[in-house]
Amino acid sequence: MSKILIKLLKSPWVIIGATIVITIMFFFVMKDNSRMETDLNKYMPAANPAFIYSDKAEQIFGIKDGIIVAVENQDGIFNTETLDTLKQLTKALQKMKQINKDDVTSLYTADNIVGGEDGLDVKRFYKRVPKTQAKLDTLRKNVRSNEMVYGRMVSENEKVAIVVAEIGDDVFSQEFYYEILDLAKRFQTDKIKIHVAGRPIVEGEMALLGPKDMKKMVPIVILVIALVLFLILRSVKSTLLTLGVVFFSTIWAFGLMALLKIPIYAVSTMIPVMLIAIGVAYSVHLYNHLQLFINQNPEATKNEAVVDMIKAMWKPVMMAAVTTAVGFISLLTSQVYPIKYFGLFTAFGVAVAWILSVIFIPAGIMAFGLPKRRQVKERNDNDSFLYKFADKVLKRKSLTIIITAVIVVLSIFGMQKIWINSSFLDKFEKDSDIVMTDKFINENFGGTTMLNLILDAGKNPDAFKNPKLLSLTDEMQKKVVKDLKVVGNSFSLADFIDRMNKVMHADNDKFNTIPDSKNMIAQYLLLYEMSGDPENLNKVVNYDYTKLNVTFQLKSDNSKAINSALAILKTYEKDFKKYGVTMNYAGSGYKGLVFTDLILEGQVMSLILSLLIVVLLLALMFKSFKAGLLGSVPIVITALISFGIMGFLNIPLNTTTALLSSIAVGIGIDYAVHFIEQYKNYAKETNHNMLLTAKKTMSNSGRAIIYNAIVVIVGFMVLLFSVFPPNRELGALVSLNMFTSFAGTLTILLVLLSITKMYSKKDKEKK
């Protein structure tokens, strides 16, 4: 291997040229074919049973996410001006080409079915905007006495009314979002405020804001990294070559993605982050060795220096790259395609970064000359900080072990507090418009998050005309709404029957219940079909009355809220089972919950898998199982601390933070590989003087590791200034992982190497 690499040194320009040509090719492929995937449904594993059921239910009942446009007037909504705004807004939304006319509902579109002693009156609440006080008062009275709209379409304080526009999954785009916002703004007056909320808005904002923020932040990150790299390498050439490796590998990864027609998912935007953190390391280690060689051999030619660098470093760099790539490839076990792709293309990028590090950097040095010899004071090795540090660490082995143990225990304790969050809204700034609007609507209405419970009676037609089943459903709905503050409202076929029963008994509230005759229910349903809009029924019950859609409105989309509702619903499982009815769930809120669980489950699985593989690979490379186990210690500690701190700081696990454990493996293992490799070499060189070996390793490899860590930590600290909270968390956690990886390698790994007498004379003799 090193022979090939050395041979390649003879034609540096060919290599540089080829690299640049390939990069340009990939760049154009990327430019022409890259596509950002914003449809969140495309992220879900369609073959998962939970999703299959949910998709089917969504189709049967037409369950769609709704954009909520709220009309607020502090003087109350029952005046001509506000009611007219509500009407015009409803009509404007109905006219938008992305929205089906029938999918827009408001007080203006709603039917009011009112019962009298001998009659039944089906009327719109208003068609022409009422102008006289008497008419306004009648409207107010009608709204107050209709549970189907009061508190649902009009807030109970009568200051807010909403228009809900349900849209298909594939409709949302940036233009559409701006169109809606424009529309809202047009209707705004001094007195009337318009708010826009709803899951499509939140999802859309997130899909747009995250990558947009990344686009802004990544150049700054790179700039800062370049600056720190320069301060460490003291050479513009070396800095540029190092950045080139990272930059090219990123383009190749995205170019390949575009070539294979795979769209860019939100998680894919983390690939550059990963490649920067990992790719920089190879060059830093190479240059560190080169610098050391030049310092020790001031007379050496550039050829000699580069050949020495390749000979000494090709193996540890390869081992580091292979172990890292394998760590990412283990993500292929995930059920979620975006994550699979993330793992695959990051692994590819890592491989590219490695190859370029050992081909392109030497070629660059051959072409542009060696970096300047660093003007360092003649080092008295024994006085150097790292020598002393190694000395101190080895003299206080038990202290290192105790501190590590305490940190591990604390981390494990902290991990207990970790919670999973599938919320989209929690990803936004607490005082952002989107969060404030959501809060406002949740305060005035049932809730912006929908949880759909699907009651399924299998192949038992007319099951849901059974009064007992409907009563049970009614009871369950009431209990969930009463017990949970976070559940504001619920809606099902039972509500229709309650309402019809009341209407047919002259609006007597005593009859706001489910009647106990099946025929009565069937006849009410028929009557509703004849007098109301049958489409409304199709949203709550399927054609042969075997499936019921019960909707719960939640005031929060976080996992704790959804799970608390699910917990109460599950207590009814037994009761429904008696009637042969099973419970299933549907809708975007539920799918988000399942999706997050899937990602995390996959993440934990692949973390364990990659750890096992890495241990095996290390054992194979160092031909020692012990080395494999020791090498994995910094990774395990890094992962534990990462999760522990998330627990203590109440940072929930979500898709972004979960993926970060991959970085712990990717980086942690590199440090350990370099450290062990050098430790092994110096042991041989010093004839198994273990203290000197430790000192030399610390001075050489340790320095590279510290430099590498500093570069990436400082670079990622920049993300702390991001406007998108998940990107801030990302920056903080990457920095943290880098820090613990390097600290763990330089302390506990060294101590363990020493205690277990790796590569000492005894160790050698045993073999």
Partner 1 sequence: MKNLKITSVLIILAMISGFNVSAQLTGLQIIEKVYNRPTGNDQSSNLTMTLINAQGKQRVRKLTQYLTDNGTLEKKIMFFTAPADVKGTSFMNWSYSNGKPDDQWIYLPALKKIKRISSDSKGDYFMGSDFTYDDLGDRHPSQDTHKLLREETVNGVKCYVVQSIPKDEDYMYSKTITWINKATFIGVKKEFYDEDGDLLKIMHVNSSKKINGIIVVTKITMQNKQKNHKTIMSLSNVKINSGIPETKFTERMMMRGI
Binding stretches for partner 1 (CB under 8 A) = 59-60, 95, 100-102, 115, 118-124, 127, 462, 465, 504, 515, 517-520, 522-524, 526-527, 529-531, 533-534, 537-538, 542-544
Q: Smaller CB distance to partner 1: residue 95 or 373?
A: 95
Q: Which residues are within 8 A (CB) of 347 and not within 5 positions of it... i.e. 6 or more apart?
A: 324, 325, 326, 328, 329
Q: Smaller CB distance to partner 1: residue 139 or 639?
A: 139
Q: Smaller CB distance to partner 1: residue 64 or 285?
A: 64
Three-state DSSP state, 161: strand
CB of 536 to partner 1, least distance (A): 11
- Cβ proximity of 729 and 656 under 8 Å: yes
For residues 62 and 180, what is the distance between their CA atoms, to the nearest angstrom? 22
Compute, in degrees rounded to 10, the torsion defined by CA atoms 499, 504, 506, 510. -50
Tokens, residue 129: 């905007």
- Cβ proximity of 237 and 362 under 8 Å: no
- Cβ proximity of 709 and 715 under 8 Å: no
Vertex 443: Cα angle to 440 and 449 (nearest 5)? 85
CB of 615 to partner 1, least distance (A): 53
For residues 65 and 68, what is the distance between their CA atoms, to the nearest angstrom? 10
Q: Smaller CB distance to partner 1: residue 468 or 761?
A: 468
The enclosing H or E element of 208 equals helix 199-233
Q: Smaller CB distance to partner 1: residue 546 or 556?
A: 546
For residues 324 and 348, what is the distance between their CA atoms, to the nearest angstrom? 11
Q: Which amino acid is at 189?
A: T
Tokens, residue 121: 């009156």
Q: Smaller CB distance to partner 1: residue 271 or 493?
A: 493
CB of 517 to partner 1, least distance (A): 5
Q: Smaller CB distance to partner 1: residue 97 or 261?
A: 97
CB of 115 to partner 1, least distance (A): 8
- Alpha carbon of 236 to those of 240, 318, 366, 704: distances in Å? 6, 25, 15, 18
Q: Which residues are within 8 A (CB) of 275 and not within 5 positions of it... i.e. 6 or more apart?
A: 246, 249, 250, 253, 346, 349, 350, 353
Q: Which long-range contacts (CB under 8 A, 24 or more apart) does 759-765 make?
A: 759/679, 759/680, 759/683, 759/684, 759/688, 759/690, 759/693, 760/683, 760/688, 760/690, 761/688, 764/688
CB of 543 to partner 1, least distance (A): 4
Q: Smaller CB distance to partner 1: residue 19 or 94?
A: 94
Q: Which amino acid is at 440?
A: F
Q: Which residue has the tokens 């189709």?
A: 59
For the four alpha carbons of 499, 504, 510 and 516, in that order, the dihedral sign comes to: negative
Q: Smaller CB distance to partner 1: residue 536 or 686?
A: 536
Q: Which amino acid is at 533?
A: D
* DSSP secondary structure letter of residue 416: T
Q: Smaller CB distance to partner 1: residue 439 or 518?
A: 518
Q: Smaller CB distance to partner 1: residue 114 or 605?
A: 114
Tokens, residue 407: 């940190």
Q: Smaller CB distance to partner 1: residue 529 or 575?
A: 529
Q: Smaller CB distance to partner 1: residue 459 or 623?
A: 459
CB of 465 to partner 1, least distance (A): 7
- Cβ proximity of 591 and 649 under 8 Å: no
CB of 506 to partner 1, least distance (A): 10
Question: What strands lie across the sheet with 449-456, from one edge to the other?
Answer: 487-491, 547-554, 449-456, 582-586
For residues 723 and 719, what is the distance between their CA atoms, to the nearest angstrom? 9
Q: Smaller CB distance to partner 1: residue 100 or 138?
A: 100
For residues 684 and 545, what is the distance between their CA atoms, to the nearest angstrom? 80
For residues 575 and 296, what is the distance between their CA atoms, to the nearest angstrom? 81
Task: State the DSSP string of 597-666.
Answer: HHHHHHHHHHHHHHHHHHHHHHHHHTT-HHHHHHHHHHHHHHHHHHHHHHHHTT--B-HHHHHHHHHHHH
**Adjacent-strand bridge partners of 154:** 150, 161
SS (H, E, C) 487-539: EEEEECHHHHHHHHHHHHCCCCHHHCCCCCCHHHHHHHHHHHHHHCCHHHHHC
Three-state DSSP state, 37: coil
Q: Smaller CB distance to partner 1: residue 102 or 304?
A: 102
CB of 101 to partner 1, least distance (A): 7
CB of 740 to partner 1, least distance (A): 55
* DSSP secondary structure letter of residue 189: -
Q: Smaller CB distance to partner 1: residue 369 or 458?
A: 458
CB of 119 to partner 1, least distance (A): 4
- Cβ proximity of 735 and 224 under 8 Å: no
**Adjacent-strand bridge partners of 452:** 551, 586
Q: Smaller CB distance to partner 1: residue 170 or 544?
A: 544
Q: Smaller CB distance to partner 1: residue 125 or 675?
A: 125
Give the burial class of 301: count Cβ atoms within 10 A of its Cβ; 0-12 exposed, 13-18 middle, 19 or more buried: exposed
For residues 201 and 67, what is the distance between their CA atoms, to the nearest angstrom? 7
